[in-house]
Amino acid sequence: MKKLTDRETFVIYAGLTNALVDHIENDFRKSIYNKQSLKFKSQNLLNELISITDKLYAEGAEEEVVEQHVMAGDVMLKFFKLGMKMADMDDVKHQGLNTQLNILLKSYGLDIDF
């Protein structure tokens, strides 16, 4: 895998953090964890990351950046859930799905290997 740029790295961090904040807000089950505390800490981290990404994007691109973070976070959650399901598969199914995903991604010109 090629080395990511600073911009890509921060978009990944911000997207994942945004997904975490959304997950805490919308999907967090009652548990021993303090939902408000987790949400507060995650939101603070997201705000810090957004302040960094503001320096990486052109002025006035805030709406585009936020939309990109939200969309990326949503897709990352779906891929995370896929990864969890793949981890539970037997090796043959796991390798077969992995191969099919790689073929599909390459057919769209995406150089990402699973």
Neighbours of 20 (CB within 10 A): 21
Q: Backbone dihedral region of 85: left (phi > 0), alpha (psi from -120 to 50 degrees) or beta? A: alpha
Q: Which pLDDT band holds residue 111 (cuts at 50, 70, 90)?
A: confident
- The predicted-structure confidence for 2-14, as pLDDT tens digits, reads as follows 687 877 777 777 7
Q: List Cα–Cα distances, 11 to 101, 104, 112, in angstroms.
A: 23, 24, 17
- The predicted-structure confidence for 37-75, as pLDDT tens digits, reads as follows 777 777 787 777 777 766 766 666 667 767 777 787 778
Domain ranges of the chain: 6-107
Burial status of residue 102 (CB atoms within 10 A of its CB: 0-12, 13-18, 19 or more): middle
8 three-state secondary structure: helix
Cα 65 to Cα 101: distance, rounded to the nearest angstrom: 27
Q: Which pLDDT band holds residue 92 (cuts at 50, 70, 90)?
A: very high
Return mean pLDDT, the chain: 79
